[in-house]
């Protein structure tokens, strides 16, 4: 109809016009064939949802059409990713969920004829909705092979476990250092022993949980995160005990790196969840 508004979708610097069948990037028209464009429209209309492969087959090919469906759909998706500059191994736009289908990751806006965005296509409760939190959400993370994430997370737990055991094993020397440099050995020693006694079982639990792929670990870890964050923040100050030997500047630099590590652990746990959902081992 003449009065029907144009249906256009905006995501990042891209804009897809469903009526004209055009995809533009920063206003520049991109060459995209009909079938990849139709797949893009389905993904944009239901951003954040998993679109099954069978649904895409029905959209692209009539029931009486003879085609190598799996190969043809893979080709269509690859062409679409090529135009968007996307990657299957590290998706920014289109995520592959093994044996299930595909999901569009970015928030999508429906654009009016005047060029103003009316509202997000994706519901605010969906996984791709932007987060107001300063902390990273799972949807903002790339899909990384599960093995890489596991190894990095395990190494961090082993590092912390080594800190605790080494400090307890050399407790007399630590007490002498504290007494000589800070004149407050008793109080700090009690804090050190108590935090190490708390930290050792937490690290052993996380080591076993990741090693044996315990389900729903991300939810459990996020509940533990406030406690582990305070614990890690406390132990991040430990390089200052060695400041007389290594210098104040180096101690400050090591402390800054250790303060970052709790957030790195949180990110790795969420990456593990993303790789599990996407079927990437």
Give the tens place of pLDDT for each residue, 122-176.
443 344 444 445 777 766 777 777 788 889 999 999 999 999 999 899 888 888 8
The confidence score (pLDDT) of residue 274 equals 66
Query: Which of 87, 104, 130 is the C-terminal boundary of a domain?
Result: 130
* 137 in a structural domain: no
Instruction: Give the domain CATH number at 47.
Output: 1.10.10.10
> To 10 degrees, what angle do helices 217-235 and 248-277 make?
180
The reported pLDDT for the residue numbered 41 is 92
The count of structural domains within the chain is: 2
> 112 and 188, same structural domain?
no
With beta carbons less than 8 A apart as the criterion, state whether 47 and 106 touch: yes
Predicted local distance difference test score (pLDDT) of residue 277:
55
Report, as an integer, the average pLDDT of 185-193.
84
* pTM of the predicted protein model: 0.55
Domain residues for the domain of 235 are 146-277
Residues 167 and 79 in one domain: no
Are 161 and 270 in the same domain?
Answer: yes
Q: Are residues 102 and 151 in the same domain?
A: no
- The stretch 96-106 carries a mean pLDDT of 87
pLDDT at 236 over 80: yes
pLDDT at 98 over 70: yes
Q: What is the pLDDT of residue 27?
A: 86
Question: Is 20 within the bounds of a domain?
Answer: yes
Query: Which of 80, 103, 130 is the C-terminal boundary of a domain?
Result: 130
- With 70 as the cut, is the pLDDT of residue 280 above it? no
Flag whether 136 is in a domain: no
User: Is residue 141 a part of any domain in this protein?
Assistant: no
Are 39 and 77 spatial neighbours (Cβ–Cβ below 8 Å)? yes
Residue 1 has pLDDT above 50, yes or no: no
Q: How far apart are CA 79 and CA 86, in angstroms?
A: 10
Check whether residue 185 and residue 97 sit in a common domain: no
* Per-residue confidence (pLDDT) for residue 129, from 0 to 100: 41
What pLDDT shows up at residue 124?
35
Statement: residue 281 has pLDDT above 60 = no
Mean pLDDT of the chain: 82
User: pLDDT value at position 120?
Assistant: 52
The alpha-helical segments, DSSP class H, found in the chain are: 34-45, 53-60, 69-84, 146-169, 171-181, 185-211, 217-235, 243-246, 248-277
Helix (H, G, I), strand (E, B) or coil at 70: helix
Q: Same domain, yes or no, for 108 and 160?
A: no
What is the pLDDT, as a whole number, of residue 53? 84
Q: Tell me the average pLDDT across 211-217.
A: 82
Predicted local distance difference test score (pLDDT) of residue 133 = 56
pLDDT at 269 over 70: yes
Residue 240 and residue 189 in one domain = yes
Examine residue 206 and state whether it is found in any structural domain, yes or no: yes
Neighbours of 33 (CB within 10 A): 12
Residue 193 lies in a domain: yes
Range 26-44 average pLDDT: 90
Token pair recorded at residue 101: 């289908």
164 shares its domain with 249: yes
Judged against a pLDDT cut of 80, whether residue 68 lies above it is answered with: no
Q: Which of 256, 264, 5, 46 has its CA nearest to residue 155?
A: 264
User: Same domain, yes or no, for 228 and 271?
Assistant: yes
* Same domain, residue pair 253 and 179: yes
In a domain, 138, yes or no: no
Confidence at residue 235, expressed as pLDDT on a 0 to 100 scale: 93
- Does 40 have pLDDT greater than 50? yes
pLDDT band at 253 (very low <50, low <70, confident <90, very high): very high
Q: Does residue 232 share a domain with residue 116?
A: no
Residue 3 lies in a domain: no
User: Do 155 and 83 share a structural domain?
Assistant: no
């Amino acid at each position: 109809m003449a009065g029907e508004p144009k249906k256009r979708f905006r995501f990042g610097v891209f804009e897809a016009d469903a009526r004209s069948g055009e995809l533009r990037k920063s206003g520049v028209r991109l060459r995209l064939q009909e079938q990849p464009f139709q797949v893009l429209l389905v993904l944009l209309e239901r951003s954040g949802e998993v679109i099954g492969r069978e649904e895409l087959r029905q959209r692209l090919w009539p029931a009486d059409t003879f085609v190598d469906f799996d190969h043809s759909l893979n080709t269509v998706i690859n062409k679409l990713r090529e135009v968007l500059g996307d990657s299957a191994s590290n998706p920014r736009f289109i995520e592959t969920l093994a044996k299930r289908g595909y999901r569009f990751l970015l928030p999508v806006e429906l654009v009016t004829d005047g060029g103003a965005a009316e509202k997000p296509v994706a519901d605010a409760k969906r996984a791709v909705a932007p987060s107001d939190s300063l902390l990273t959400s799972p949807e903002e993370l790339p899909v990384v092979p599960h093995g890489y994430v596991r190894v990095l997370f395990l190494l961090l737990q082993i590092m912390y476990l080594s800190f605790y055991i080494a400090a307890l094993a050399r407790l007399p020397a630590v007490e002498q250092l504290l007494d000589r440099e800070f004149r407050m050995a008793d109080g700090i020693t009690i804090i050190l022993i108590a935090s190490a006694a708390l930290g050792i079982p937490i690290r052993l639990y996380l080591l076993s949980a990741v090693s044996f792929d315990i389900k729903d670990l991300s939810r459990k870890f996020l509940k533990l995160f406030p406690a582990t964050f305070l614990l890690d923040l406390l132990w991040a100050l430990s390089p200052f005990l060695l400041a007389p030997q290594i210098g104040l500047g180096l101690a400050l630099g090591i402390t800054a790196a250790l303060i970052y590590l709790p957030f790195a652990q949180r990110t790795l746990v969420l990456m593990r969840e993303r790789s599990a959902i996407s079927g990437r081992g």
